[in-house]
A and B are shown apart, each in its own frame.
Chain A
Amino acid sequence: MSWVGDNSALIWEQLREHLYLALIPMVLGLLISLPLGYVATRFSWLANPLVALGGVLYSLPSIALFIVLPAILGTQILSPVNIIVALTIYAVSLLIRNVIDGLRSVPEEVLQAAVSVGYGTLRRVLTVDLPIAIPVIFTGLRVVTVANISMVSVGAIIGIGGFGELFTTGFQQDFLTPIVVGVVLSLALALVCDIALVGLQRLLTPWARVISPLKEATT
């Protein structure tokens, strides 16, 4: 424990790095997959190829992607951009399926009702379709967030990895403490972010807390 005290400044810095490396891709992934998923529900022939492509991209090992991306993007190999782009690719690959499933789960009567009371397309999508799709989208978002938090550590091999640097330090110094601290902090961070997302989902879907016929129809 004294090791943690002595290195608290370092650990805070790694926490900050770990959080932005994991959370920026999550937000970017959501911002990309929402419009993409909407387009795929409008032009349904796009849905299967997109989900299949996502499946292939998601199967790529993270360390491989961290190294191939600089060759494609022209970035430095030690640039955090590679990690952020790689994790964004994973986020989109996984979220696209949930966004499509979520938007498709909106009952047809609800859409018709929205149109008949005069909602335009944009307003309907943002205020009707999207909120109803939230539970399904959040299921994917939680998986993405937890997986990203664990994958950031792999970046430590190429020098940028938040808590992952505790693993490389511990390994090089043959010293167990930083590794144990890193594993515990990484798991704790994943847990905290997951709980935060569950809380956010509850805030965004107040209707789910009361028993409603809508919920029964969408589940």
Chain B
Amino acid sequence: MIQGFFDFLGDPVNWRGAEGIPTRLVEHLAFTFVSLLIAAVIAFPIGLLIGHTRRGAFIAINTVNAWRALPTLGLLTLIVLLIGIGQVPVIIALVVLGIPPILASTYAGVSGVDRNTIDAARGMGMTGREILTKVEIPIALPLIISGLRSATLQIVSTATVAAYVALGGLGRYVIDGLGVRDFPQMLVGAVLVALLAIVLDLAFALLGRYAVSAGLTGRLRKNVNTSTAPAPAGAN
């Protein structure tokens, strides 16, 4: 079995063409980023609005709870049966799954900004918009990135499952391998998806480290506690 796994990886046929590993990987990344982008474009402004005005918090909290309980395979099959087989319905499902973590963490980050900080900003003559872009968003950035990370991991994982309802990407190896009881092929798909998730997870951890203002993390100062580790993201 392990031998078969390496045979599959070692076979040059599996590195070429429409069913080759590079193509599947690029497909998987493309589905992930398109879905993440659409989800972010929808969720981010709503999260900012709820966080800034501090109204409608119950929506943010409840969507994320329902999101966690929502069976992804159920959502996928439901949307595909309603709309039809193809890439668009699957991307819709991935977007639906990407929205709640981004929305909730943006809301939590922005609404969690200390009242005194906002009062100070207002006292300096900042307008509402300036407070949002120059104070609230930078301070909320660690949480916003952590939300993007949760959403990404959820989407990567669900995009794999989506091969079941006919989508390209690395999940194809899992589903196609299952169909013909080719276990090494399934293992290749599973290992590649797991590696992809770990790499993306690390990328977001790095992003969180370098995108956040040094004034907040004290990254450029010495002897300052830099504990901004976000909550673990993923598992889906």
Chain A residues proximal to chain B, CB less than 8 Å: 51, 54-56, 58-68, 70-71, 77, 90, 93-94, 97, 143, 146-147, 149-151, 153-154, 156-158, 161, 163-164, 166-168, 170-171, 174-176, 179-180, 182-183, 186-187, 190-191
Contacts and interface: CB of A to CB of B under 8 A. Distances in A.
B236 A143 contact: no
Nearest to B156: A61
B167 interface: no
A60 B74 contact: no
Contacts, number: 161
B73 A190 contact: no
A77 B65 CA distance: 31
B198 A179 contact: no
A146 B68 CA distance: 7
Interface of B: 1-2, 5, 65-66, 68-78, 80-82, 153, 156-157, 160-161, 164-165, 171, 174-175, 178, 183, 186-187, 189-191, 193-194, 197-198, 201, 229, 231-236
B73 A157 contact: yes
B73 A147 contact: no
7 contacts: A60-B194, A67-B190, A146-B65, A153-B72, A156-B73, A157-B178, A176-B78
Given A149-B69, A163-B71, A56 B5 contact: no
A153 B75 CA distance: 11
A161 B231 CA distance: 28
A59 B235 contact: yes
Given A65-B190, A146-B69, 11 more contacts: A58-B235, A61-B156, A61-B236, A64-B193, A68-B194, A163-B71, A168-B164, A171-B80, A176-B82, A183-B78, A186-B74
B157 A183 contact: no
B232 A182 contact: no
Max chain A Cβ within 10 angstroms of own Cβ: one of B75, B229, B236:
B236
Given A59-B197, A167-B74, A183-B78, A64 B190 contact: yes
B82 A150 contact: no
Max chain B Cβ within 10 angstroms of own Cβ: one of A59, A175, A176, A183:
A59
A67 B190 CA distance: 6
Contacts of B229: 51
Contact of A64 (B68, B197, B231): B197
A67 B187 contact: yes
A150 B233 contact: no
